[in-house]
Chains A and B, each alone.
Chain A
């Protein structure tokens, strides 16, 4: 018999209690994997969108709580494009619109001017892209997932804000977020959202991405360019990573995800503590006997910690599987609209296991210490 076999048998001794404890840890780990996983996934999806297009800077309104709120004058695009070191600029207007004739609400719609680099990443699967010739023709492009979910085909009509558009193209990109979006020409998007002459942001590509030119462009955009348009202090230019990290909604979600996870994990830890205290208390005499037959206190500690870690790692396995299942389910919900990846990253899983290990070790530390301090004579006095 190996030591871990012995430990396993101890754990299996109280099956109901062990199962409950394992379930408690599993719930905490599952919650962590799902919530923090989704939060990370949202950030990663957004970051991916910009990084795939080699975007150097994202210009947005500094007081906007989301990329869709807060507007800037369209003129900003031309002024930024005129800066030294700037290669490309794409002004964009992003908002939610409804496909009224289909009863579909909350479709994310991007408005871009014809010919900008953002169009280059779109792979047109059916129909054609929006170009300068499309102006005034009321055409809309749909991401392939959106087209599939809305059951829309080329030439189908889409009613938005009392205007009728036609599907002229269906596209695919590497980003599931975009595959769930619709794209209009900027002027159409401005008209439909009532934001004439306004944009929600700019994506900027620089000629070289060195830190120096990045900082120079930032300073120029936030400084002189903004000042000229009378919006100094209200414009921020950020590299993609920083932009994603400072998104208020994403940060709020992430904070919430962590807060809920931490509470769940503390509860898991208390659950474990309770279980192990009970377990050690029940086995007072038994542990005394083990000490009497020569076990060192360190072996008693090891036994109790291993029992606890066994339970918590069992919980981590069950919880991670549950979290993967839940993430898959959530990613399929329409409201996820491609923003949530359907897989849990190995990093999150590894974190889940590490946290479970900590839950096990911390939860069992006190009982293990108490167990190790039991005197062998206690056992004999209990006769």
Chain B
């Protein structure tokens, strides 16, 4: 507990704090998560990495109010989640999810897909539509708002999914292997989009990735294994873009160490790839 500068979680920019999270699944008594503690600050860009079955997704589910831990507590904006009665509202208003397989609804256009979470907002239909267009322009798909998912490339689909995640103006984006189904060029584009959201809007982003190179584009890297955090280090930055040495030298750090938003010197210098330039004509 002494790791935390502010154990109340209020102020001090702490958005999410996990304390001693353990998750046991009843089937086979597998320990999906063992005593994990983690602090995420507002505006942070964090990559969770680790082999399959290391507990990354389980941790993301706990942070995203999708699942309850067997023991331990998560604090969202200082409030213990176990005391928050309505997780639906929490998810609807504060959290944006991005999934590996996009999960866009095939019958809806890009614009309509982005509006789906907004049914839970008080916005009238016209405002929902306007916001959807704005968000699609923001992710570089202003020229494809009426396309159905099947007419979009995989990279474009994930951009629509990101716009959808942003629909209700969340405070944090949680992405589970967002580039797992993308080719490397699209993956890079999506990562650049995350980077620009982080840089320009100060969006807090937690993403899971297998891709070491892409993970390095985050500010902070949490590595997990066997349900535990093995390391929590500032990112060394992308190998090529930032010119850092190719070797990785993770600094072992206690869980809870964090990088303040905007203080990382390894911020990727990403730009939107050419196909993502919004077509405002």
Contacts and interface: CB of A to CB of B under 8 A. Distances in A.
Given A1-B112, A292-B66, A383 B120 contact: no
B88 A377 contact: no
Contact of B117 (A3, A294, A379): A294
Interface stretch (B3-11, B96-104, B226-234): B96-104
Size class of the contact patch on chain A: 20 to 34
B89 A294 contact: yes
Nearest to B97: A292
Size class of the contact patch on chain B: 35 or more
Interface in B218-263: none
A379 B103 contact: yes
B176 interface: yes
Contact of A2 (B64, B125, B165): B125
Contacts of A383: 57, 99-101, 176-177
Interface string A363-379: 00000000000011101
A345 interface: no
Interface in B46-102: 57, 61, 64, 66-67, 88-89, 91-93, 95-97, 99-101
Contact of A293 (B91, B100, B101, B125): B91
A9 interface: yes
A6 B108 contact: yes
Given A9-B108, A380-B61, A295 B103 contact: no
Nearest to B180: A383
Interface in B174-188: 176-177
Q: What 3 pairs between A and B have smallest CB-CB spacing? A: A294-B92, A294-B91, A293-B117
Interface of B: 57, 61, 64, 66-67, 88-89, 91-93, 95-97, 99-101, 103, 105-108, 111-112, 115-117, 119-120, 125, 128-129, 164-165, 168, 176-177
Given A377-B66, A380-B61, 16 more contacts: A1-B128, A292-B64, A292-B97, A293-B92, A293-B96, A293-B97, A294-B88, A294-B91, A295-B92, A295-B119, A296-B89, A296-B92, A297-B88, A299-B119, A375-B66, A383-B177
